[in-house]
Amino acid sequence: MPGISSDHVLSPSLLEHLSLLPLSDTNQEDFFMVTGNNDTEHEHLTVLTWNVAANAIMKTERRKLTGKKKQVDLRIFLGLPLDLILEIFGHLHPIDIYHIAQTSKSLRNVVLARNSASLWKTCFSRHPEVPSCPPGMSAPRWATLLFGPVICDYCGKYGALLDFTLRQHLCSTCLGRFCVSKVPESDVALYEPDDIVWRLVPATLRYVGHHYWRTFPYNQLALHGRYMRKDLRVMTQKLKELQEDIAKNKSGSKAAFEAFTESTEEQHAATCKEWAVEIFHSVEDEHEDLISSFQDRITARLIGLGHDPDDISSVDLMKDLDFDGPRKSLRLTRRCA
């Protein structure tokens, strides 16, 4: 069959016919709009869909079960008395209870029932390395935040790690869209820097949604903290109501105001941040070690095939290889030769 020249492919007649095809006028921007994936700086979507902490925990738990039977039909528990079911499940990791809630409607009803609150409390207490449930939040909801999909709560984009201060999943775009700084660089401040409202809403030091960098001292919030606009609006209205009660000399209004301002201080997030950062960087270090080991094996293979070590060292062996996929992508097979 004769080849087709580039001139023929790009001829006006063919371009005219191509324009009749469906979606022929779509571009990259249209793709971003439909899929929600507009992260051009980080193209490895596979990695960005991982819940790093959940994967690290499951990996650790699997190692503990090496040599043991792992497959169990959970339906056998449904015939047992509820108290016995809860006693057995109480020996599991909180992430296991979260996964059980996803298996079937019957098991979901068991672990999410109101009288199963003690089950979650027991599981978290037996695994103190996992951040405990904060006040004012149910344990199942907290487990979902810790172990569930890393999907932005606002736009649905993947790669939105949990913000422990805001207790929400936010991608980088939505962090910039819905958060505001106390002293913005290019916008008018919503309130005066010394306004009490800044002290009464949670502030985050994160600027990207796909990565945990490091923890910051609390005094850095004054310079770099970011606040949810809706939190500020809600708190402003609440303060207005309390101050109106004080102005009307309502009984106990001043005491209520002082108790309210003291009780809303953020205390729980610091431990959670340290836990997440430690896991995140531990996974990164392990990944770097795997890449380094793989590079050493490639070098040894090439030298064994007769290549000069100086030639090998002058080439970036990792440049065109994608290591952000599954672990199996780091296997070196005979076909690589």
Residue in this structure with the two tokens 């945990």, named with its chain if needed: 212
Burial label for 292, CB within 10 Å (0-12, 13-18, 19+), is exposed
Pairing of strands 226-228, 179-181: antiparallel
Q: Is the pTM of this model over 0.95?
A: no
Cβ neighbours, 10 Å, residue 194: 8
Whether residue 201 sits in one domain with residue 284: no
Whether residue 323 sits in one domain with residue 276: yes
Say how many domains are in the chain: 3
Which residues does residue 226 pair with via DSSP β-bridges, in sequence order? 181, 204
Give me the tens of pLDDT residue by residue for the chain, a chain 337 residues long: 444 444 444 445 555 555 555 555 655 555 444 444 444 444 444 444 568 778 788 888 777 777 666 666 767 777 888 888 889 999 999 999 999 998 888 888 989 998 899 999 999 999 988 888 888 889 999 999 989 888 999 998 888 888 888 889 999 999 989 998 887 766 667 788 778 888 888 888 888 888 776 555 555 555 678 899 999 999 899 888 888 888 888 888 788 777 776 655 455 666 777 777 777 777 777 777 777 887 888 888 888 888 888 877 777 766 655 555 444 445 556 555 4
DSSP state of 151: B
Of 267, 298, 322, the residue at which a domain comes to its end is 267
Whether residue 313 sits in one domain with residue 276: yes
Whether residue 257 sits in one domain with residue 175: yes
DSSP state of 228: E
Task: Report whether 155 contacts 161 (CB < 8 A).
Answer: no
Q: How big is the CA angle at 312 (ends 310 and 314), to the nearest 5 degrees?
A: 70
pLDDT at 51: 80
pLDDT at 244: 86
Whether residue 239 sits in one domain with residue 319: no
H or E stretch covering 270: helix 269-304
Question: pLDDT digit string (tens) for 20-34?
Answer: 555 556 555 554 444
Whether residue 311 sits in one domain with residue 332: yes
Of 249, 267, 285, the residue at which a domain comes to its end is 267
Query: What share of residues in the chain are helix, strand, coil (percent, to 5)?
Result: 55, 5, 40
Whether residue 249 sits in one domain with residue 202: yes
pLDDT at 221: 56
Determine, yes or no, domain membership for 216. Answer: yes
CA distance 29 to 286: 36
- Where helices occur in 159-252 by DSSP H, the ranges are 172-178, 221-224, 229-247
Determine, yes or no, domain membership for 41. Answer: no
Of 267, 295, 311, the residue at which a domain comes to its end is 267
Whether residue 278 sits in one domain with residue 244: no
Whether residue 228 sits in one domain with residue 205: yes
Domain that holds residue 90: 52-57+72-144
Q: What is the 3-state secondary structure (H, E, C) of 77-145?
A: HCCCCHHHHHHHHCCCCHHHHHHHCCCCHHHHHHHHCHHHHHHHHHHHHCCCCCCCCCCCCCHHHHHHH
Determine, yes or no, domain membership for 290. Answer: yes
List all residues 6 or more positions away from 220 whose beta carbon is below 8 Å from its beta carbon.
Answer: 205
Of 114, 84, 111, 110, the C-alpha closest to 97 is: 111
Q: How far lies 78's CA from each of 74, 81, 82, 249, in Å?
A: 8, 8, 8, 59
Whether residue 176 sits in one domain with residue 249: yes
Whether residue 256 sits in one domain with residue 204: yes
